Structure 1
Amino acid sequence: MKSNTLLIAIFTLFVSVTAAAAENFDIGKDGILLSVSSRAEASRVPDVANISAGVVTEDEDSEKALRKNAEEMERLMAAIKKAGIADKDVQTSGISLSPRYQYHQNRKPEITGYQASNTVNIKVRDIGRLGKVLDAMAAEGANQIHGPSFEIGEPEPVYDEARRKALKQAQARAETYADALGMKVRRILSISENGSDGPPRPMMRMEMATAKADTATPVAPGETTLAVNLDLMFELGK
């Protein structure tokens, strides 16, 4: 009796058997539909790092603040190029000039100077050199460095591994439900991939002034995990 009750519960909870759904598929009269969702992951050591670096300068005069920033930024860009970063992997992400204020009671804020900033995004394709790249930028005037975030340069093979895992997992679940109901899995009627994703990338912020020439900044890339979500429709029958 308990066994029959369990089968009925499984049937009611997991198997979608409606006339509207059946009309979308050509299934046998004794066939039923089973919808299964599956998620699987695959991991690799990342081989690409993304960082942003910039220069912030200040002066009482706005034009001088910008000029100082441009001079410092030229040094930084030269250091980035010397470190072996290709032009295509460097992109300006922000340039700003803003006033600095001194606040007084019962009086309007007074402008005391200006702050200029210029920031670039950089893609480092050799993670083994990332520490030296960071140190080179700091040595040549970068006073704001953000990152790194890591990624897999060629993610598709990793996603394919996750897809195979997700498909195998879904098929195993379908077999479990079919066996519990005294039925068999006849075929897969549809497969839908509902987005592929990875976990949030950890971000670190570093404000660097100087770096020792004999010791590169240590960097630990760890692993990057990519995930695939699948929705499958199976036909079950006797």
Structure 2
Amino acid sequence: MKFFKSATVLAALPLVALAGAGLAQSAHAQAVSSGPVVAAGNTLLNISAEGKSARTPDLAVFNAGVTTQGKTAGEALTENAQRMTAVIAALKKAGIAERDIQTSNLSVNPVYGQPKRLPDGSFEQQDPVIIGYQATNQVSVRQRKLDQYGKVIDTLVSAGANQVNGPTFQIDSPDGALDEARLEAMKKARARADLYARAAGLRVVRVLSISENGGWAPPQPPVMFARAEKAMVQSASPVAAGELEMTVTVNVSYELAP
């Protein structure tokens, strides 16, 4: 019985080796044929081109919330909940839809006392002492009426918000702007391909492949309103939306022929 088992194993080895060789040859064939193929005597040209389009933003995203402190975590949270309820009510009253208000941060953290300074100027070495707690509740808000943005911010501060960060301006539906950028990028790529072809005494025969690096809109630097006080609110805060630039980069492969 041992002899037959050994013979079976030895007979199987060539089959395994052949199968492995077949897989290797198949993988090699796929690797060779994976890239663009040009006809004999022709040339492969790879072009990268960028297209841009500009739009006036129609959406402002900002964060608003309340930070409170108390001797206990419960005390800090209770006051925070009362003030945050007023802030959310003010948002809705200002015309912000519920779907455009989303909690982005809810946290409670201890507040530590400062170490005692000794006569020699150094600080007393001791374990940190908790002297209270700080509660923070923030919501992310999408403002669709940009002409009302400054007024909404002032309303929030009057309602008790002491943390307001933003805005980041966006385009609600960027597809149209991105398509314009794509068309411009493709026109630039073809013009550049024709230029290279003429310079080399060749002509563009066909497009072999097209890939896109994706659209991008540069982020807007945030306008910061931190720990604002009611007394500061005298008139609507001026806000300039400016213009957003959408950018798309395409990579195009062309076949050139004499």
Same fold (TM over 0.5): yes
Length, aligned pairs only:
218
Kept in 1, the 8 Å contact 2:36–2:209? The answer is no
Which of 56, 62, 74 pairs up with 2:67? 56
* Alpha-carbon distance change, 76 to 94 in structure 1, aligned in 2, over 3 angstroms: same
Q: State the identity as a percent.
A: 41
Structure 2 counterpart of 1:68: 79
Match of 1:96 in 2: 107
Does 2:202 correspond to 1:199?
no
Shift of 1:201: 2.8
Match of 2:191 in 1: 172
What is residue 51 of structure 2 aligned with on the other side? 40
The reply on whether 1:157 has 2:214 as its aligned counterpart is no
Q: CA contact under 8 A between 1:92 and 1:120: conserved in structure 2? A: yes
Aligned residue type for 2:242? G
Distance 1:39 1:22, change over 3 A: farther
Could you state the TM-score of these two structures normalised by the residue count of structure 1? 0.87
Q: Give the aligned partner of residue 90 of structure 2.
A: 79
Name the SS for the 1:199 alignment partner: coil
Report Cα offsets for 1:182-207 as digits up to 9, x if no partner.
Answer: 11111111111122212233122212
Instruction: Give the strand-richer structure, 1 or 2.
Output: 1
Q: Which runs of 5+ in 1 are unaligned?
A: 1-19
User: How many angstroms does 1:106 deviate by?
Assistant: 2.5
Please give the root-mean-square deviation of Cα atoms over the aligned residues, in Å: 1.7
Cα gap change, 1:57/1:31 in structure 2, threshold over 3 Å: closer, same or farther?
same
SS of alignment partner, residue 121 of structure 1: strand
Partners in 2 of 1:83 and 1:50 — Cα distance?
A: 15
Counterpart secondary structure, 1:41: strand
For residue 230 of structure 1, the aligned residue among 235, 245, 250 is 250
From the CA coordinates, give the structure whose radius of gyration is larger: 2
**How far did 1:223 drift?**
0.7
TM-score using structure 2 length: 0.80
Separation in structure 1 between the aligned mates of residue 40 and residue 169 of structure 2, nearest angstrom? 52
Runs of 4+, deviation exceeding 3 Å: 20-28
For 1:48, the aligned partner's letter is L
How far apart, CA to CA, are the structure 1 residues paired with 2:33 and 2:196? 19
Shift of 1:93: 0.6
Higher helix share: 2
* 2:38 match: 27
**Structure 2: gaps (5+ residues):** 1-30, 116-123
**1:7-18 residue pairs with structure 2 within 5 A?**
none
Asked if structure 2 preserves the Cα contact closer than 8 Å seen for 1:22 and 1:33, the reply is: no
